[in-house]
Structure 1
Amino acid sequence: MPVQFLLNLLIAVLWVFLKDADTFKIPDFVTGFLIGVVIIFLMHRFFGTPFYLKRAYSMLKLLWIFNYELWTSSILIMKQILLPSATFEPGTFSYETKLKSDWEVTALALLLMLTPGSVVLRISPEGNVFYIHAMDVKDSKPILLKSIQMYEKIILEVTRP
Structure 2
Amino acid sequence: MKIKTRSRLVVFILSAFVWFALTNMKNWQEVFVGLLLSLLVSLIAGQFLITTEKTKHLFLRILAFAKYFLRFIWEMIKANFHVAYIVLHPDLPIKPGIVKVKTKLTKDSAKTILCNSITLTPGTMTVDINPDKNEIYIHWIDIVTKDYYNIDENTATISAKFEKLLTEVFE
- 1:48/1:134 CA distance change after superposition, 3 Å: closer
Maintained 8 Å contact 2:123/2:141? yes
Aligned to 1:157: 168
Maintained 8 Å contact 2:86/2:94? yes
- 1:144/1:82 CA distance change after superposition, 3 Å: farther
- 1:48/1:110 CA distance change after superposition, 3 Å: closer
Aligned residues: 120
Within 1, Cα distance between the matches of 2:132 and 2:166? 19
- The yes-or-no answer on 1:54 pairing with 2:60 is yes
Aligned to 1:70: 76
Alignment map for 1:122-141 (pairs within 5 Å): 122-126=128-132, 128-138=134-144
Maintained 8 Å contact 1:121/1:132? yes
Indicate which of 92, 98, 103 corresponds to 1:97: 103
Maintained 8 Å contact 1:73/1:117? yes
Amino acid in the other structure paired with 2:91? S
Amino acid in the other structure paired with 1:92? I
Aligned to 2:117: 111
Amino acid in the other structure paired with 2:75? E
Indicate which of 155, 159, 162 corresponds to 1:148: 159
Q: TM-score, normalised by structure 1?
A: 0.64
Where does structure 1 lack aligned partners over 5 or more consecutive residues?
A: 10-46
Maintained 8 Å contact 1:105/1:127? no
Where does structure 2 lack aligned partners over 5 or more consecutive residues?
A: 14-52
CA RMSD, Structure 1 to Structure 2 (Å): 3.0
| Larger-gyration structure (1/2) | 1
Indicate which of 87, 90, 102 corresponds to 2:93: 87
SS in 2 for 1:116: coil
Percent of aligned pairs with the same residue?
25
Q: TM-score, normalised by structure 2?
A: 0.60
- 1:107/1:84 CA distance change after superposition, 3 Å: same
Deviation at 1:145, TM superposition (A): 3.5
